[in-house]
Amino acid sequence: MLIARSAVRLTHAQAMRRAIELAASPDVPLWPNPRVGCVLLSKRGTVIAEGYHRGAGTPHAEADALNQAGERARGAIAIVTLEPCNHTGRTGPCAQRLIDAGVSRVLYAQSDPNPIASGGAETLRAAGIEVESGLLAEESRAVNRVWSRATELQRPYVTWKFATTLDGRSAAADGTSRWISNAAARRDTHVRRAECDVIMVGTNTVAVDDPSLTVRDADDLPAAVQPLRVVVGERALPVHAKVFDDAAPTLVMATHDPAMVLEHLWRMEKRHVFLEGGPTLAAAFAAAGLIDEIVTYVAPMLLGAGRNAVADLGISTIADALRPTVVDIAIIESADEQPCVRLVMETS
């Protein structure tokens, strides 16, 4: 429910923070569209109406607010978290809606990185509307961090997740790997799965481990819409593998080309891949420069032998090492188990 604030005067920064709150509403799906909020202010700074986008096919944030405002929008100031779109998709262009409504001024935080939808600011200016950009741009981008980067890259954002021992092993010499991480780390993995629209592994992982690749293990996780399960590789798969059950949709891609996989998923409007494959698939994506984020759970354990967390990357000298930037470190504690260290890194 939107909050009535008609008697409260807001600065432009306060109105933008409110728009960011609306954009991040918990009922808004993460994919495939950006999350956007809008606040309409009178020239005195009182709130006329608020709106936010609730997912593909629903009114955009500006349209939602304008629908509520009606004639009160004439002469108003529109505060929007993302540059008003300039194209017709499932709905019409927001820039034109703002022009038709007679707003006098538009302030937006983040420029639209989508080449198809961008250009709204120029359209508004051409219609004689005052336009300003950049107010709380970083805070706004944080709401759509992955969507923004994926849109800039024109491919899905890839998060590679793995668990490893201190000496870089993902399994022991006999193939056993349950459990390197602890229960809390596994639950954390499900939280991160729920933030993605694709969970990806290779055919070998399906054949050997028979994973379900679903969001589960916690009652408060959004399991209503499961991510697409994607299996990459040319190895024949058992027909009774868990990935072929009805818990979630599954796509098998018989290729070893990571770029081709991501191109296909982009066309399917998939925006965030959670890569959980074994060392071979991970190495293919890493060598191709197609990993954007790494989440690893490091267990206080030594094996000395066994499967490496990642296969050969073709790196022969320390100078050529891949060096992701650490953005977060946390100790993941679990009852009656050794803690793990979770590292989150970005590659660019």
pLDDT at 6 over 70: no
| pLDDT per residue as tens digits for the range 91-120 | 789 999 999 999 999 999 999 998 888 899
pLDDT at 348 over 90: no
Residue 177, marked binder: yes
Cα torsion 23, 24, 29, 31 to 10°: value is 70
Does residue 45 belong to any structural domain of this protein? yes
- Specify whether 124 is located in the same domain as 164: no
Alpha carbon separation from 266 to 46, 104, 154, 174 (Å, rounded): 41, 37, 7, 38
Residue 220's pLDDT is: 57
Exactly one of 50, 62, 83, 293 is catalytic; which is it? 62
Does residue 6 belong to any structural domain of this protein? no
Structure token digits, residue 303: 């094996």
Residue 213, marked binder: yes
Domains of the chain: total: 2
Share of residues in the chain with pLDDT > 90 (%): 81
pLDDT at 4 over 80: no
Residue 337, marked binder: no
Does residue 4 belong to any structural domain of this protein? no
Share of residues in the chain with pLDDT > 70 (%): 96
pLDDT at 1 over 50: no
Pairing, β 198-202 against β 325-334: unpaired
Residue 223's pLDDT is: 47
pLDDT at 225 over 60: yes
| pLDDT per residue as tens digits for the range 286-341 | 999 999 999 999 999 999 998 899 999 999 999 999 999 999 999 999 888 999 99
- Alpha-carbon dihedral sign for residues 112, 113, 119, 121: positive
- Specify whether 131 is located in the same domain as 159: no
Residue 193, marked binder: yes
- Specify whether 75 is located in the same domain as 175: no
Output the pTM of the full model.
Answer: 0.90
Position 221 confidence tier, pLDDT thresholds 50, 70, 90 = low
Does residue 3 belong to any structural domain of this protein? no
**Residue 137's domain spans which residues?**
12-150
Higher-pLDDT residue of 291, 209: 291
**C-alpha gyration radius of the chain:** 23
Map tokens 């190895």 to a residue: 235
Does residue 7 belong to any structural domain of this protein? no
* Count of other CB atoms within 10 angstroms of residue 2: 15
Residue 91's pLDDT is: 76
Domain-ending residue, one of 99, 125, 150 = 150
Q: Give the CATH number for residue 125.
A: 3.40.140.10
Domain-ending residue, one of 150, 178, 194 = 150
Residue 281, marked binder: yes
Residue 217's pLDDT is: 66
| pLDDT per residue as tens digits for the range 22-75 | 999 998 988 899 999 999 999 999 999 999 999 988 999 999 999 999 999 999
Residue 62 designated active-site? yes
Distance CA 290, CA 213 (A): 21
pLDDT at 152 over 90: yes
